[in-house]
Chains A and B, each alone.
Chain A
Amino acid sequence: MLSALLVMAAIAIVLGAVLGFAAIKFRTEGNPLVDKIDAILPQTQCGQCSYPGCKPYATAIAAGEADINRCPPGGEEGIQKLADLLGVEFKPFGGDTAAPKAKSVAFIDEAICIGCTLCIQACPVDAIAGAAKQMHTIIAAECTGCELCVAPCPVDCISMLVIEEKITNWKWKYPVYSLTTKK
């Protein structure tokens, strides 16, 4: 009886020491889960999730405060990836979250622009060039299509243009492969 207890205690001490050592040795800085979630999010910084950006949304998901289906630009695929990462069920879009839209970039009608800089202040990724009283231009390659610049414009000169399919961004389609009888 006593020897059994001693053996158990010894095992507990050894394993505890190993665990403690591992905790120190393999300590990770920061919160890797937030970074992993953030890596999945599309970085549009659009705020459609009701958080002020992708990182805050990632933090909220990691803390279990937000659902995984609140990111329209990430699409259903984004939800699926989050579901896989977090080991939870896939959840379709719904409720107060907007449905995903086709990818687009903002476009400033330079004839109307009055150079008020409000859009520059709204742009989360500094993709608008221009100065006060000067025309502004969207740097299309850096625009994430978040639409945050559209609302602040006092003269409604910003529109969202859907990115068209060109030879340079064309993708092979999923092969048509129907084995289901049409119903």
Chain B
Amino acid sequence: MEISRVLIDNEKMRTLYHFHGGIHPPSNKSQSTQVAIARAPLPSRLVVPLHQHAGEAAKPIVQVGDHVLKGQLIGMPDGFVSSAVHAPTSGTITAIDMQLIAHPSGLPNLCATLIPDGKEEWIPHKAIDYRDHSSAELQQLLRMAGVVGLGGAAFPSDIKLRIGKQKITSLILNGAECEPYITCDDMLMRERAAEIVQGAEMLRFMLDASEVLIGIEDNKPEAIAALKQAIADRGMNHEVVAIPTIYPGGSAKQLIRVLTGLEVPSGKLPTDIGVQCFNVATAYSVYRAFAQGEPLLSRIVTIAGNVRQAQNYEALIGTPIDELIALGVALPDTNGYIMGGPMMGIPLPAVHVPVVKATNCVIAASDRLFPPPPPALPCIRCTRCVEVCPADLQPQDLFWFAQSKEFGRAQAFSLFDCIECGACSYVCPSHIPLVQYYRFAKSEIRAREHDKQLADQARERHEYREHRIEREKQEKADKLAAKEKAAQAAKLNSLQQPTPQQQAELADLEAHRAHIRELAQSGVEHPED
């Protein structure tokens, strides 16, 4: 369904499409866009998790006590979907152990602790001209530079560039930033537009894409203008497209739909329909990785919410969040912190957990900003959730099945097409934590599928073992039988066909026996006994 046509560069018209549902929560973005991005001061210590991307954790390759340089590899990618981790500054590794991280479980994970020496001494690094390299080489460089998606999912970028034979028509840069409070991409686009468009060109080169579309919600006119200017300055033909502001317009699938009218088929990837999508901040890190030879060591983090001064900071990965929050000064009634936005963010288990590659925003929470929800009432099937669901699901049915743990039915009602955007929970008049039920059901189903796999594997191994034992038994029995048979055969042989010599011996034996019998009968003792 076409919804609007927008003017691009005062001449080209582009048709925009619509996705179902969506909501308009208060954006609360203006508070943190008043001042420019500031560089956060070097923290007293850095805690760098070895697993801050989707996929397998990186393997630590440094030891406690090692002195490392800024940009030095400390975590080696381990596995197909994995990414490198680097020392964000120079200093000494003081621990490699389990530390609390920003994770909904509140469980610790392996981290390297680095005490900075304050010298910011770089490891030797050099820029490359991406045009001199093949896409595969560049992918490997990105993997070793630790470049992952900075929109929040932290998916290794090299995997997304590994497209095989698929033809990519559109490369989409996601600058929608639809979640309330978050402005890190907005500020990055305003201030570093030139780097972003060059990063986009590098991504386009690797994908061999025919067009580059940069989708930005129309509540960011400064960012739109900055990017258009940067594109014009370089004479590129990337298109900046202002899209309607609606949550979750920044979700990759929804953004692709709005810009191209295509729906990523359920369970498939955007590349299957000739589209690939990267966050604008990811494009920026790609630029840094190639044009400056710098791995991903820092990112822009919005500090917002219940703070005196909301602002964006360029913070080193591993910076303890409390040191970052201190820059904005949390107000006294702050009672918690959220990483990410208020729609999809996670509550921090402790405020000292480190900034990771996925940390786009930290919100100081208070009861004033985020009043605790009233007790949930039963679902009255009012279908307000259906009206806002961007995946065209029936949230009230999914809730019903998840609540009663009917996982099979939940899957039949397309539970896994849910993107957990939270729009349904936002509008629910019964204040049911709907997304929480979907998360529970999804993780339970995944765990069960995993258990099922293990059970199948165990069954196979058990059956193999039974089979092996059976075979061994059979072999043993066969062997025994063969032996016995041989023995018997020998005996039979000897009985049935006595040789003349044997016959003579037998006759002798018989005669001897007859003699004994005689003696026995006569009662005379045998002389030989």
Q: Does chain A bind chain B?
A: yes
Residues of A within 8 A of B (CB): 38, 41-45, 53-55, 124-127, 142, 144, 165-167, 169-175, 177, 179
With A and B bound together, what is the CA distance between A177 and B404 in angstroms? 12
Q: Are A165 and B107 in contact (CB under 8 A)?
A: yes
With A and B bound together, what is the CA distance between A9 and B440 in angstroms? 59
Q: Are B105 and A167 in contact (CB under 8 A)?
A: yes
With A and B bound together, what is the CA distance between A54 and B455 in angstroms? 11
Q: Are B462 and A42 in contact (CB under 8 A)?
A: no
Any A CB within 8 A of the CB of B39: no
Tally of B interface residues using CB under 8 Å: 35
A-B contact pairs, 13 of them (CB 8 A): A42-B455, A43-B454, A43-B455, A43-B458, A45-B458, A142-B457, A142-B461, A165-B105, A167-B107, A172-B440, A175-B433, A177-B376, A177-B432
Q: Are A126 and B465 in contact (CB under 8 A)?
A: yes
Q: Are A170 and B105 in contact (CB under 8 A)?
A: yes
Indicate whether A179 sits within 8 Å of B376 (C-beta atoms), given known contacts A166-B107, A167-B51, A172-B440: yes
Query: Which residues of chain B have C-beta atoms less than 8 A from A169's C-beta?
Result: 447
The residue of chain A having its C-beta at the shortest distance from the C-beta of B439 within the complex is A172
Q: Are A167 and B439 in contact (CB under 8 A)?
A: no
> Given known contacts A43-B462, A125-B458, A171-B440, what 20 new A-B pairs fall within 8 Å (CB)?
A43-B454, A43-B455, A43-B456, A53-B462, A124-B462, A144-B454, A144-B458, A167-B103, A167-B107, A167-B108, A167-B109, A170-B105, A172-B443, A174-B440, A175-B433, A175-B437, A177-B376, A177-B403, A179-B375, A179-B377
Chain B stretch 211-241: residues in CB contact (< 8 A) with chain A: none
Q: How far is the CB of B353 from chain A (nearest CB, A)?
A: 13
Query: Which residues of chain A have C-beta atoms less than 8 A from B103's C-beta?
Result: 167, 170
With A and B bound together, what is the CA distance between A179 and B458 in angstroms? 42
Query: Which residues of chain A have C-beta atoms less than 8 A from B109's C-beta?
Result: 167
Bitwise interface map of B from 20 to 43 toward A, beta carbon under 8 Å scored 1, else 0: 000000000000000000000000
Which of A38, A41, A125 is close to B461, meaning CB atoms less than 8 Å apart?
A: A125
Query: Which residues of chain B have C-beta atoms less than 8 A from A177's C-beta?
Result: 376, 403, 432-433
Any A CB within 8 A of the CB of B518: no
Q: Are B458 and A171 in contact (CB under 8 A)?
A: no
Indicate whether A172 sits within 8 Å of B436 (C-beta atoms), given known contacts A53-B462, A179-B376: yes
Q: Are B458 and A44 in contact (CB under 8 A)?
A: yes
With A and B bound together, what is the CA distance between A50 and B375 in angstroms? 48
With A and B bound together, what is the CA distance between A125 and B454 in angstroms? 11
The residue of chain B having its C-beta at the shortest distance from the C-beta of A175 within the complex is B436
The residue of chain B having its C-beta at the shortest distance from the C-beta of A80 within the complex is B405
Indicate whether A172 sits within 8 Å of B458 (C-beta atoms), given known contacts A167-B109, A177-B403, A179-B378: no
Bitwise interface map of B from 121 to 155 toward A, beta carbon under 8 Å scored 1, else 0: 00000000000000000000000000000000000
Most B Cβ at <10 Å: residue of A41, A165, A170: A170
The residue of chain A having its C-beta at the shortest distance from the C-beta of B468 within the complex is A126
Closest 6 CB pairs of A and B: A43-B455, A43-B458, A170-B105, A172-B439, A125-B461, A175-B436
Q: How far is the CB of A49 from chain B (nearest CB, A)?
A: 14
Q: Are A171 and B447 in contact (CB under 8 A)?
A: yes
Chain B stretch 428-450: residues in CB contact (< 8 A) with chain A: 432-433, 436-437, 439-440, 442-444, 447
Query: Which residues of chain A have C-beta atoms less than 8 A from B51's C-beta?
Result: 167
With A and B bound together, what is the CA distance between A54 and B458 in angstroms? 11
The residue of chain B having its C-beta at the shortest distance from the C-beta of A177 within the complex is B376
Q: Are A126 and B461 in contact (CB under 8 A)?
A: yes
Which of A43, A165, A172 is close to B459, meaning CB atoms less than 8 Å apart?
A: A43
The residue of chain A having its C-beta at the shortest distance from the C-beta of B440 within the complex is A172
With A and B bound together, what is the CA distance between A94 and B83 in angstroms? 50
With A and B bound together, what is the CA distance between A134 and B456 in angstroms? 30
Query: Which residues of chain A have C-beta atoms less than 8 A from B459's C-beta?
Result: 38, 43, 54
Any A CB within 8 A of the CB of B464: yes
Q: How far is the CB of B75 from chain A (nearest CB, A)?
A: 16
Q: How far is the CB of A114 from chain B (nearest CB, A)?
A: 23
The residue of chain A having its C-beta at the shortest distance from the C-beta of B51 within the complex is A167
Query: Which residues of chain B have C-beta atoms less than 8 A from A171's C-beta?
Result: 440, 443-444, 447
Q: Are A124 and B465 in contact (CB under 8 A)?
A: yes
The residue of chain B having its C-beta at the shortest distance from the C-beta of A38 within the complex is B459
With A and B bound together, what is the CA distance between A126 and B103 in angstroms? 36
Query: Which residues of chain B have C-beta atoms less than 8 A from A144's C-beta?
Result: 454, 458
Query: Which residues of chain B have C-beta atoms less than 8 A from A127's C-beta?
Result: 461
Query: Which residues of chain A have C-beta atoms less than 8 A from B442's C-beta?
Result: 172
Query: Which residues of chain A have C-beta atoms less than 8 A from B437's C-beta?
Result: 175
Query: Which residues of chain B have C-beta atoms less than 8 A from A172's C-beta?
Result: 104, 436, 439-440, 442-444
With A and B bound together, what is the CA distance between A54 and B378 in angstroms? 41
With A and B bound together, what is the CA distance between A53 and B464 in angstroms? 13
Q: How far is the CB of B157 from chain A (nearest CB, A)?
A: 22
Query: Which residues of chain A have C-beta atoms less than 8 A from B377's C-beta?
Result: 179
With A and B bound together, what is the CA distance between A175 and B103 in angstroms? 17
Chain B stretch 100-126: residues in CB contact (< 8 A) with chain A: 103-105, 107-109
With A and B bound together, what is the CA distance between A65 and B456 in angstroms? 25
The residue of chain B having its C-beta at the shortest distance from the C-beta of A125 within the complex is B461
Query: Which residues of chain A have C-beta atoms less than 8 A from B455's C-beta?
Result: 41-43
Q: Are A142 and B462 in contact (CB under 8 A)?
A: no
With A and B bound together, what is the CA distance between A177 and B462 in angstroms? 42
With A and B bound together, what is the CA distance between A174 and B444 in angstroms? 9
